[in-house]
Structure 1
Amino acid sequence: MVTSEQQLLSVSLPSTILMTDVIKEFNTSFADFVSMKEYINFLSIQDPAYTTNPGFQQLDSISVWSRTGRIVFTANKYMELVQAYKPDLYVALCDGDTNINSSAKRVSKAVLRSKTLLEQCLNIHLHSDTLKSKGILGSVEGGYNLETREESIDYLKDKPLAGFVIDGLHNNGPSVQNISTEQIKQVVQHTINLLPTDKIRVSMGCWNPVTVLDLVELGVDVFDSSYPYIITEQSQALTFMCNHDICQNDQYRISVAEERYKDDFSPICKKCNCLACQNHTRAYLHHLHHTKEMLGLVLLMIHNTHHYLQFFIAIRDSIKNGTFNQLQKKIRLKYISVNSEFPPLQQSNCISVK
């Protein structure tokens, strides 16, 4: 209902952990179990759409929260699950429980713990026939401390990894969309400059589109789609890619809860070809919201995911065409009209994007 193009299927432990026993019993992969084997599976540890509970990491284990509560993973327990899921790409167990306020002692422990866990995961990975064709990613930790990040990279860069996750900048959840590039730029740029150029670089979290463009410019290759989910949960529809002359959408998103959409029988975006915009109106979405019908969130999620995927198509096309800076300026202007915290546009060249 969203796209016919292949995308990475992002799978997180908290949202799928309760399926583990059934997957093992049927002796199948996660992709086969959910009938999505045509997609490349990417397994992450935490769900970037939800705030990670801080302070529960231990010397040799990581905590995640499912619907049934806290679950503690050692490297052995985690790799047992990985071998059951058989993802194409997965993140080695790590301690990413740091942010801009974390102390030097805390980020140092995160790096040490992540080293220990990666060593254990990698050892099992290299000796597993099930995982010999799969890719394992290492997480670069260290919070906002550049020296500690260097220590983490020095350990990771020569390991047989498929790529790296630039981790430890936040604790996931909706608040990540409010983090500006200026806050993270020095750390991300320093990190990427030290990483091998022939391996993928991933950044998880619901970054707003302006920050996504800046991270692409810095060299990040892969992002997740938690941002459209967060916007959907707020009963809002993304419009930052809309053409103002056609849609009169001068903001980056609209709230279907607002009274002004009660009698608005136009789609969210007149040029959007998603299922929601092709078949339904703002007035109908407004009605669904106020009657608390689940269909309202379903339609918003279809639109927002489609809109976000179109954003990345535009990014890739602009890189090929040499028009990335124009796209960056266009999106920034849409956001800056209602968000004064975004800094002025800085002109430079983009280097890569997934």
Structure 2
Amino acid sequence: MKFITDSVSRCARLGSLSELEKFPEAIFETPLLVLYTRRGSVPHLTKDVFKMLTDEQHMLSVSLPTTLTMVEAVKQSDSFSEFVGMKEYPTILTIQDSSEVSPHGHQKHITTAIWTKHGHHPVSPDIYMDIVEAFKPDIYVGLCDGDSNEKTNEKKIMKVVDRSKRQFEKCLERHKSSEILKKTCLLGAVEGGYDLRAREVSANFLREKNLEGYVIDGLHVNGPEVQNISFETIKEVVQHTLALLPPEKLKVSMGSWSPHVILELIDSGVDVFDSSYPYVMTENFKALTFMCDSHNHGDDYKTELAISVADKCYVDDFSPICNECQCLTCRNHSRAYLNHLHNTKELLCSVLLMIHNTHVYLEFFKAIRENIKNGKFKEFKHRFLNQFS
């Protein structure tokens, strides 16, 4: 993998990911939205419907909690992507599921606890690297213990950092000796919770490994509550962590961050995110509306990020979610119909919401890249934060 950026300063920047072994012609512009999947599929969407949503080539995020029970079956195929019928899409393998809370505890010695429907599974570096060699992702995160958040005490944080260092050493050793993974990109996860000194220990350790990029990890334990974390809460630790890392390298942050935090993280120099936020909104029967107009309102104009199609006020509302939206849902269906689908517990409600919410988020990232390109990102961010405060 090759990452090129137009700026090595720690600010909003354009870049490109290219030269993936299985996709030598593919170029992904950053800031990049990686599409969140469960068991290799975008939730609620069949492959045919997904292709109706977007005809562009996107990178897919694959997590261990949703795929761990599939490992033996995947070994019968050439790769995970081929097994799930998505071989035309590059994948990035992550440790935890961004949309589900990762339970605390059960990390022992050099293993990380991966929780599935059947309980927790201790995954060691050797087991993990066996999975990576079976899945053959295009990019993967080294095994780490990200079990920390704002409330984690110093003693546990140092254990997290130490365990993650030992895990990464073993992963890197296997990576270098593996013929299968010799052209696969390995990312290092910077741990340390909200302890700046621990962050320095983790970042300095990884910086010596000459990696292609880094994941800013350990800020949360995943799940829907991540959308409620303000940038002020994470600002100091994020900016301190980024300052410790080589500015020309790729920076990744996973989690269902709110659009406000996404903008601030991009402005701090983070390049890649996942789309678990649209999925979390869909699961709560909410339709994103923050891209419904061009944000040309005055500074006094305030509105909401989303509407709830469960609200009774939409029972007779025959307008689309967004008049200007060109997604399949808005072109063909009304708020009243979505309200009806919710009330009758039809699965189609989640399908239509997922189509719309994913489309909105893809357009959001296109707008971000366009505004950075035009030198107007600061103005775009200011209008957005003011309008949706």
Q: Which moved more, 1:36-45 or 1:225-234?
A: 36-45
Residue 136 (structure 1) aligned to one of 174, 186, 192: 186
TM-score by length of 2: 0.84
Aligned to 2:262: 212
Does the CA-based 8 Å contact 1:98-1:171 persist in structure 2? Answer: yes
Does the CA-based 8 Å contact 1:252-1:334 persist in structure 2? Answer: no
1:157 aligned onto 2:237:
no
Does the CA-based 8 Å contact 1:92-1:121 persist in structure 2? Answer: yes
Aligned to 1:263: 316
Aligned to 2:379: 326
Aligned to 1:296: 349
Distance 1:297 1:156, change over 3 A: same
The residue type paired with residue 116 of structure 1 is: R
3-state SS in 2 of match to 1:136 = strand
Does the CA-based 8 Å contact 1:14-1:65 persist in structure 2? Answer: yes
Does the CA-based 8 Å contact 2:295-2:384 persist in structure 1? Answer: no
Aligned to 1:340: none
3-state SS in 1 of match to 2:76 = helix
Does the CA-based 8 Å contact 2:91-2:139 persist in structure 1? Answer: yes
3-state SS in 1 of match to 2:109 = coil
Aligned to 1:312: 365
Q: Percent identity?
A: 52
Distance 1:231 1:239, change over 3 A: same
Q: Which moved more, 1:11-20 or 1:143-152?
A: 11-20
Does the CA-based 8 Å contact 1:63-1:71 persist in structure 2? Answer: yes
**Alpha-carbon separation, structure 2, partners of 1:96 and 1:106:** 11
Structure ranking higher in helix proportion: 1
- Which structure carries more relative contact order (alpha carbon 8 Å, separation 6+)? 2
1:63 aligned onto 2:113:
yes
Distance 1:18 1:204, change over 3 A: same
Show CA shifts across 1:89-131 (max 9, x none): 0011101000111111111001000000000011001000000
The residue type paired with residue 297 of structure 1 is: S
**Alpha-carbon separation, structure 2, partners of 1:249 and 1:155:** 45
1:287 aligned onto 2:340:
yes
Distance 1:306 1:249, change over 3 A: farther
- Cα root mean square deviation, aligned: 1.5
3-state SS in 2 of match to 1:25 = coil
Does the CA-based 8 Å contact 1:45-1:91 persist in structure 2? Answer: yes
Q: Which moved more, 1:14-23 or 1:178-187?
A: 14-23
Does the CA-based 8 Å contact 1:252-1:335 persist in structure 2? Answer: yes
Does the CA-based 8 Å contact 2:146-2:217 persist in structure 1? Answer: yes
**Alpha-carbon separation, structure 2, partners of 1:6 and 1:331:** 28
Which 4+ stretches in 1 moved above 3 angstroms? none
Aligned to 1:23: 74
Residue 159 (structure 2) aligned to one of 100, 109, 131: 109
Aligned to 1:124: 174
**What's the CA shift for 1:249?**
9.8
1:272 aligned onto 2:322:
no
Aligned to 2:97: 47
Aligned to 2:43: none
